[in-house]
A and B are shown apart, each in its own frame.
Chain A
């Protein structure tokens, strides 16, 4: 089962054996880049971006809220893409990547909800409002939880990968429909008029801060997913020769 030695060309990189050390080498770089973007982003969001005319200082929450929301959606798409590749080509690494991305995506969705409600409290006067953006984020969070729960419930990792892949693909088809339906629903029920990002005069520096923070979140997500995929590889490949050699090498 683990003697998949003959891998050629593109498939070479899709084998956990070649990817494991590669990911290990890439990891520190992503941490460094994430930290640099984080420092730059925080600097811009607190010291360069001006106070918002209507929302005061509270608007500064968008510097973490918007990147978290973007990442939560982006990670779901990437996860579904890996899942689709895994299902179509049968590469083992793809399923592991999808599995490694899911918790980070769920975290991003949770952060988006948390910061959204922290922003909503001073702006709307309530911790939670059934606004289109927050509601669809909540459903996205549920989708992540479903994906993680399904994979956790299936013992055979190959079946877990494939079942998860189908769920992710069905989910990714549904995400735009859900988003659209929630916006429709919100307009039917007269939603709030205050928006988190559609501030009338979005200064250039505010946008720059948002982009820098988004890049930081992006690099962080890659770094932490690579860490997790390495852990998953070690867990799953425990019966193969190469990983044992790898560990021995690391110890001695």
Chain B
């Protein structure tokens, strides 16, 4: 282990902005994408249920 303290770890040898920026951007986008897909799924399901209801009232 090359870190002596938490501050040293977060400072990343002076490259904090770049290292944390890179990892942070990846983490953020990799959380946003599944969230967007999940929303798309919900919308599709909702649509489908609406269609189902419409068909049921038709008969």
B45 and A57: CB pair below 8 A?
Answer: no
B18 and A238: CB pair below 8 A?
Answer: no
Residues on B with beta carbons closer than 8 Å to the beta carbon of A243: 48
B3 and A47: CB pair below 8 A?
Answer: yes
A94 interface residue (CB < 8 Å to B): no
The B-contacting residues of A in range 230-252, CB under 8 angstroms, are 230-231, 234-235, 238, 243-244, 247-248, 250-251
For the complex, give the distance between the alpha carbons of A205 and B14 in Å: 22
Residues on A with beta carbons closer than 8 Å to the beta carbon of B18: 58, 61, 118-119, 121-122
- Chain A residue at smallest Cβ distance from B47: A238
Chain A nearest CB: distance from B59 CB in Å? Answer: 13
Chain B nearest CB: distance from A95 CB in Å? Answer: 17
A148 interface residue (CB < 8 Å to B): no
Contact A119/B44 with A57-B13, A103-B33, A224-B34 known, Cβ cut-off 8 Å: no
What is the interface of chain B mostly: helix, strand, loop, or mixed?
Answer: helix
A166 interface residue (CB < 8 Å to B): no
A220 interface residue (CB < 8 Å to B): yes
User: How many B residues have CB within 8 A of the partner chain?
Assistant: 31
The 8 closest A-B pairs by CB, nearest first: A57-B13, A58-B15, A234-B44, A231-B41, A115-B22, A57-B12, A61-B22, A118-B22
Chain B positions near chain A (C-beta within 8 angstroms): 1-3, 9, 12-15, 18-19, 21-23, 25-26, 29-30, 33-34, 37-38, 40-41, 44-45, 47-49, 51-52, 55
Q: Could you list 29 A-B pairs, sorted by A, with CB under 8 Å?
A: A46-B9, A47-B1, A47-B3, A57-B14, A58-B12, A58-B13, A58-B15, A60-B12, A60-B19, A61-B19, A65-B22, A110-B29, A114-B25, A115-B25, A118-B18, A119-B22, A122-B18, A224-B37, A228-B37, A230-B41, A231-B44, A234-B44, A234-B45, A235-B44, A238-B48, A244-B48, A244-B55, A247-B49, A250-B45
Chain A positions near chain B (C-beta within 8 angstroms): 46-47, 50-51, 56-58, 60-61, 63-65, 68, 103-104, 107, 110-111, 114-115, 118-119, 121-122, 220, 223-224, 227-228, 230-231, 234-235, 238, 243-244, 247-248, 250-251
